[in-house]
Structure 1
Amino acid sequence: MTTLNEKLASLKVIPVIAINKVEDAIPLGRALVENGMPCAEVTLRTECAIEAIRVMRKEFPDMLIGSGTVLTNEQVDASIDAGVDFIVSPGFNPRTVQYCIDKGVAIVPGVNNPSLVEQAMEMGLRTLKFFPAAPSGGVSMLKALTAVYPVNFMPTGGVSLANVDEYLNIPAVLACGGTWMVPTKLMDEGKWDELGALVRDAVAHVN
């Protein structure tokens, strides 16, 4: 059985998505899968996010799907019920982390300094989101953290086609979260061919 870390490492880039319409879930999933990126982190920043995850899970059972911007235990429950593979939070909330551990669902919480990394390690976590990556010192800060701590990172926030290689070249980085290949504007306008081209370019760039 392939672990979450192995899946993240093989994908290298995880699209971080804000979806505004449930009916966009299937064409979005199709654009991702058909262009070589069978994964999605759907952020719970829009009202339809959970239902979009549910639809995507049913239509694309083999996709790696996570819910992002998870802030409460209720959102954890809703995410699990919708069929996610993993949970992502912007910060490190011990209560949410423990709840995910108790529920048996993988969580990748956000950290951006040594103290938070150590708190996460204390709870048994070894895969963390470095967020917000660019404002927190970017590659240089991440290199400093990885020199000290035996953990893996998924940097997100300010990662783009222009700098993704710098992050992926750090051995402890499994994958990068990014929004550049899944612009909400293109989804809202139904421009799936354009979005697919961005996805295809991202996949080609990191492989």
Structure 2
Amino acid sequence: MPGASPYQAVEAFLTPLERAVACLGVGKIVVSPGGRATAGKTHLWSLNGGDGLLLRGDAAGCRFLASMHYRIVPTDPERYDIEQGRWRVTTSAYLYEFRTPDNAKLWAMHWHPTGRSHATFPHLHLYTVRPDGHFVTPRQTLESAVQWCIEMGGEPQNPRWRTVLAESEGIHQLYRSWSEDPPSPPADR
């Protein structure tokens, strides 16, 4: 989702994500200071400033938390027509979680290639199946996490939620710089 300026690139990146979140309820994506215009550093957005979104329906009282690290980078002239924009946003980590009303984690989708964890590959946690497990997955989109919330009983707030999620994810997939194949986890030693 290129933009003519860093600000426009971030807006093009966040707008479909905000539409996807709206399928679950009223939510705001809050960005870190400089997160809409400063290139060359890692930024963070979080759903409702880290508080997440309280779900309705059969999952009433459950909470969806979401955050993502991203960077504003120049577009690759080999890949993008300059008319599409000189700047784009690239994701560098994500965390999506589904928590019960008593704050217990049921599932989480993570990708954090840097940091202290050995699980630098995209993965899924199924806390009721294997609390310490890291199930390898392809990289997951926010839209897929929103769909999981709906499938877990969260009441969609838009009757066209499937279309909205497909459109939002389609925009993201059109401009992504990564493939569907997950990297292999490190071999046991």
| Shorter-chain TM-score above 0.5 | no
Shorter-chain TM-score range: under 0.3
The structure with the largest helix share of the pair is: 1
Instruction: Give the TM-score of the pair, scaled to structure 2.
Output: 0.26
**TM-score relative to the length of structure 1:** 0.24
Which has more radius of gyration? 2
Give the strand-richer structure, 1 or 2: 2
